[in-house]
């Protein structure tokens, strides 16, 4: 299979964040709010979610996040498929900072999918802030993002990303931030109705994991926090304009402001700064892997800061 043919069908079908929750009405699990007082528990709990789509919104005194296994490309007859998401929460709802996310991991394997639908899932964590989104790009002062993560072969929590072991496992997946933008503030909050999808790939594993527009070459580069990101541009089958910033190499630990990557896109067919950012999430687009692999995100905080 040539490079060109992979490019021609890779990621052409649906946006990364499309969720069967959007289509079916997302079931949501909200942990009960812990009451402050003598009975507040400081227990740390890990729960496992293997559903195809399920919203997990842990109680917190700070910024709300919603996690979702989001196996949108899995059908009941997809054999050899499995993905479970573990979410570790503090029962007292208190975390190191008011934007610290719960720790989470995914353990999964999928067979190679069809050429026109290579992606099985986008397990992710989304910022759940209707007081912030939708926000005009002009009004954003920073898109702060800090994460530590590792992808490993097997079912245990990895501490480092061993690319040789992941190649042996046949991993094809990325690690990415996903954002949606539209001139209409309501459409901007929808992963299927928004006109623009802007992604930031911190890593991509496997030959099939390719951004839309790769064949056309990078249209722009930007240096963020010591890493060069190359921008690819194309259109998916929902006619959304997809702009993908791909890091040179694998960016495992980063603490930076990604705001500059939303600017200056108008001239290359991207959103205007008067358009609205309506959605931001971080996760992994999972294509296939012949044995189980585990992505672990022990430390994460994301914040869209208004001016």
Asked whether the beta carbons of 210 and 10 are under 8 A apart, the reply is yes
Q: Give the CA-trace dihedral at 100, 101, 106, 110, to 10 degrees.
A: -110
292 binds ligand NAG (CB under 6 A): yes
CA nearest to 198, candidates 116, 263, 284: 263
44 binds ligand NAG (CB under 6 A): yes
Residue 13 CB, nearest approach to ligand NAG (Å): 24
Q: With CB under 6 A, what is the number of residues at the site for ligand NAG?
A: 27
**Region binding ligand NAG by CB under 6 A among candidate stretches 101-109, 118-126, 169-177, 233-241:** 101-109
132 binds ligand NAG (CB under 6 A): no
Report how far residue 256's alpha carbon sits from residue 89's, in angstroms, rounded to the nearest whole number: 25
299 binds ligand NAG (CB under 6 A): no
Q: Which of 86, 189, 244, 286 binds ligand NAG (CB under 6 A)?
A: 86
Q: Which of 19, 51, 71, 105 binds ligand NAG (CB under 6 A)?
A: 105
Q: For 37, which DSSP code?
A: S
83 binds ligand NAG (CB under 6 A): yes
Q: For 259, which DSSP code?
A: G
227-235 vs 65-68, strand pairing mode: unpaired
Residue 216 CB, nearest approach to ligand NAG (Å): 29
Output 48 or 266, the one with its CB closest to ligand NAG: 48
Output 110 or 232, the one with its CB closest to ligand NAG: 110
Output 119 or 295, the one with its CB closest to ligand NAG: 295
**Region binding ligand NAG by CB under 6 A among candidate stretches 26-34, 154-162, 200-208, 230-238:** 154-162
57 binds ligand NAG (CB under 6 A): no
Report how far residue 201's alpha carbon sits from residue 190's, in angstroms, rounded to the nearest whole number: 20
84 binds ligand NAG (CB under 6 A): yes
Dig out the tokens for 46 from the structure. Answer: 């890990």
108 binds ligand NAG (CB under 6 A): yes
Q: Could you check whether the bond before residue 283 is cis, i.e. omega within 30 degrees of 0?
A: no
90 binds ligand NAG (CB under 6 A): yes
49 binds ligand NAG (CB under 6 A): no
Q: Which of 5, 46, 160, 266 binds ligand NAG (CB under 6 A)?
A: 46
Q: How many CB atoms are located within 10 Å of the residue 298 CB?
A: 14
Q: For 263, which DSSP code?
A: S
Give the DSSP H or E segment for 201.
strand 196-205
Three-point CA angle 259, 261, 262, nearest 5° = 75
Asked whether the beta carbons of 188 and 276 are under 8 A apart, the reply is yes
CA nearest to 127, candidates 246, 300, 3: 300
Output 90 or 244, the one with its CB closest to ligand NAG: 90
88 binds ligand NAG (CB under 6 A): no
SS3 165: helix
Report how far residue 22's alpha carbon sits from residue 35's, in angstroms, rounded to the nearest whole number: 32
Q: Nearest residue by C-beta to ligand NAG?
A: 226
Residue 33 CB, nearest approach to ligand NAG (Å): 14
Dig out the tokens for 87 from the structure. Answer: 């979410």
Contacts to ligand NAG by CB under 6 A: 42, 44, 46, 48, 62-63, 82-84, 86, 90, 92, 94, 98, 105, 107-109, 155-157, 225-226, 255-256, 292, 294
């Amino acid at each position: 299979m040539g490079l060109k043919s992979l490019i021609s069908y890779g990621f052409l079908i649906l946006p990364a964040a499309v969720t069967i929750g959007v289509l079916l009405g997302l079931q949501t699990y909200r942990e009960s709010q812990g009451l402050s007082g003598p009975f507040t528990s400081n227990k740390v709990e890990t729960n496992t979610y293997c559903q195809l789509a399920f919203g997990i919104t842990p109680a917190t005194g700070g910024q709300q996040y919603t996690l979702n296994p989001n196996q949108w490309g899995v059908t009941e007859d997809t054999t050899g498929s499995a993905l479970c998401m573990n979410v570790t929460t503090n029962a007292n709802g208190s975390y190191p900072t008011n934007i610290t996310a719960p720790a989470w991991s995914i353990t999964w394997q999928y067979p190679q999918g069809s050429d026109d639908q290579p992606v099985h899932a986008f397990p992710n964590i989304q910022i759940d802030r209707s007081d912030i989104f939708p926000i005009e790009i002009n009004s954003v002062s920073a898109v702060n993002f800090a994460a530590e993560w590792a992808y490993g072969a097997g079912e245990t929590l990895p501490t480092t990303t061993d690319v040789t072991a992941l190649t042996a496992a046949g991993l094809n997946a990325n690690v990415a931030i996903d954002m949606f933008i539209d001139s209409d503030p309501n459409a901007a909050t929808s992963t299927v109705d928004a006109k623009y999808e802007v992604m930031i790939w911190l890593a991509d594993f496997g030959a099939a994991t390719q951004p839309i527009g790769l064949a056309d070459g990078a249209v722009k580069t930007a240096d963020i926090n010591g890493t060069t990101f190359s921008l690819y541009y194309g259109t998916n089958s929902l006619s959304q304009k997809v702009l993908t910033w791909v890091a040179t190499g694998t960016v495992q630990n980063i603490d930076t402001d990604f705001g500059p990557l939303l600017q200056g896109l108008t001239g290359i067919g991207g959103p205007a700064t008067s358009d609205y950012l309506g959605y931001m999430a971080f996760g992994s687009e999972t294509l296939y892997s012949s044995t189980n692999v585990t992505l672990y995100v022990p430390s994460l905080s994301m914040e869209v800061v208004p001016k």
